[in-house]
A and B are shown apart, each in its own frame.
Chain A
Amino acid sequence: MSVTSTMNMVQALNSAMDVMLERHASVVVLGEDVGYFGGVFRVTDGLQKKYGAHRVLDTPIAEGGIIGAAIGMGVNGLRPVAEIQFADYIYPAYDQIVSELARLRYRSAAAFTAPLTIRTPCGGGIRGGQTHSQSPEGVFAHVSGIKTVMPSNPYDAKGLLIAAIEDDDPVIFFEPKRLYNGPFDGDPDKPAQSWLGHPMAEVPQGYYRVEIGKASVAREGSAVTMVSYGTMVHVCIAAAEAEGVDAEVIDVRSMMPLDMDTIAQSVEKTGRCLIAHEATRFAGFGAELSASIQERCFWSLEAPIERVAGWDTPYPHAFEWQYFPGKQRVQRGLRQLLNIEG
């Protein structure tokens, strides 16, 4: 377990599935192009060769079918890891997820359960237009009975995915695709960065877990709390540094269950809070964060909570960088929060 290698997020996720396929005969991987080809983002590369076509299955192009079948497999003793090729393509499976997967334990008084992990690349920043850029985490965090997770670095990605596969409740595991090959601070004009040299890219080769439901402090500070997840964690850190603000950046990591203790502790310390996510603002997950923080920390707040999010439009192809809540928008949010002119 202690032997580590430098991994990007693709390799870390691949390693998590490799470890779990090795440890448990019940783990199966299924999805479109995941087998022979190894996935369109290469996340399942080599797994079919190693574990066979009966455990790493190429599927028909039918997201509702993938999730429906995975529920059946889960009921019959397997631990399926289903890939939805892009989060933008998850909606044909919406009924199976919301009406079936999320409620199976509840409606059958735990007589039937399906321990599924649904992996799906999400988020923008790759010029993917409206069908390869969406961030629907809030849609699923809203549904009782499923857990919702989004890592921001390779170490967390592997540990959280292992925890998700071991979890007896269904987990939707969002992978910010812009972070697959390197961290991204929101500036599209800078050359793409790799994970090489990043402390969170040192990943144990073997088994370990990162507990679902625990936020992490990605950067310590005392002037303001920035609450975020996925790609926006990196944007927040960059914005704080560019603005010269001593910000504490909380990486939520799991939307449900939500680690309100870590968030509240920080907000009570700093007295100011900015929430940032790529998803649209209106009824987005930031609204839940903002409401919960206000309820817990009202008497510590020195300014209204600031939200920075995607505009409330579909994800536009040509205007990606005016749409994406990048560094400048987050900096502006910080200035607003700290009452700084300009």
Chain B
Amino acid sequence: MSKPTLHIPAVPARPGEAPDFSYVHLAPAGAALRPDPRVPVRETVELADSLIRVLDEEGKARGAWDPKLEPSVLLAGLQNMVLTRVFDDRMQRTQRQGRITFYVRSYGEEAVSVAAAAALAETDMLFPSYRNQGLFLARGVSLVDLMCQLLSNTRDMCKGRQLPVMYHSAEKRVFSISGNLATQYPQAVGWAMAAAIKGESQLAAAWIGEGSTAAADFHHALTFAKVYKAPVILNVVNNQWAISTFQGYAGGEQRSFAARGPGVGIAGLRVDGNDFLAVYAATQWAAERARSGEGATLIELVTYRAGAHSTSDDPSRYRPREEFGEWPLGDPVQRLKQHLIQIGTWSEAQHEALLATVEEQVATAWKQAMAFGTLNEGEKLDPKLMFSDVYKEMPAHLQLQCAQMESGI
């Protein structure tokens, strides 16, 4: 008789080994059926285990999930993805130069944020993780505002209190990012419950990484979303890696993350996260479902974290350097560009021109942001700001400590 042994999830390739993505369950573009968004949950079981793809190898849009977007929408999407990437690259270099203390790129997973933002209404509320800068950019938060937050300078929206990348925008309806994982998930459900209580049609959308699905807050969110049929879209960005921990350690072996949706009783979709059209279409489907009162959808966006976890991390210690080049779902920017060229609204030359324009836009914004100071140079935030906003009114003991700080240092 065999005995139980502890199963250790297998990591497909470590440094020095050839990348191996044979574990990624693929499906051809256009193969997935698109049911009416009001279908019962059980009719999404297959979609939660499949892979919704629209763009094929040649950049043609295929199948029932093609959202048939106007070229202007596609172009705006491409511009925002390029902007996100150029912004990320520039800020990463800035961190290396010591001007900001920390940075997180979204390299390789830009479509996840940009396509979703395009598919949602501007009044819908977004609850991002720290790798969703594309949401802020697609919603039109200014580059200078984001950069000033990174610099903790005199125009920092967080008044110097937060790590870089922990942005927010009440005006554009993007919630304050927390450094703690998955906390925004049940909060998004609560926001959506409030919309339902108030009889309003806005919905909430939230994003977490696949690693964070292990956190209890993920399960709290799904349960509350199911119980109250909350108008919420719960996105799991499966970028394969949580720092050094492979997605198998979050339970990704054998069964998709999307399948947990129907498991709990909400709809589930597994989507090619590097396919702008597929992400747009899935978000649109889930939004229609939520707005029609059929409740939440769990969307797994299959993508790849092409960069490091953050500027504090060196991924060459735990995975092969060549992995991104071998990633079967490619590069989201390249794929949308190829599609636009394929349909005759874009060219290599136009793309080069776009890149140059965006580089210039980011460089100009950086100069403007730097004029408000950096952590170490130029004008500084008043340290007294440390004591405000702890409470609405500053209590006596904080007033005293603030005075002590001013007199002492």
Contact = CB atoms under 8 A, between A and B. Distances in A.
Nearest to B312: A40
B349 interface: no
Interface in A285-319: 311-314, 316-319
B318 interface: yes
B245 A33 contact: yes
Contacts of B14: 36
A91 B216 CA distance: 12
A282 B397 contact: yes
Contact of B383 (A91, A319, A328): A319
Contacts of A61: 181, 211-212, 214-215, 242, 245, 250
A88 B183 CA distance: 13
Given A36-B14, A130-B179, A322-B405, A317 B163 contact: yes
Contacts of A332: 408
A216 interface: no
A62 B405 CA distance: 38
B105 to A, nearest CB: 18
Contact of B386 (A60, A62, A127, A319): A319
A324 to B, nearest CB: 11
A64 interface: yes
B398 A312 contact: yes
B244 A130 contact: no
Nearest to A54: B6
B11 interface: yes
B398 A88 contact: no
Given A37-B243, A130-B162, A318-B375, A311 B401 contact: yes
A131 interface: yes
Given A318-B156, A318-B381, A37 B161 contact: no
Contacts of A156: none
Among A89, A131, A314, A328, the most chain B Cβ lie within 10 Å of the Cβ of A131
Interface of B: 6, 8, 11, 14, 101-102, 152, 156, 158, 160-164, 166, 178-181, 211-212, 214-217, 242-245, 249-251, 312-313, 317-318, 375, 381, 383, 385-387, 390, 397-398, 401, 405, 408-409
18 contacts: A32-B245, A33-B243, A53-B8, A57-B8, A58-B244, A61-B214, A61-B215, A61-B245, A63-B215, A65-B214, A92-B215, A129-B179, A130-B163, A316-B161, A318-B152, A319-B381, A319-B385, A329-B409
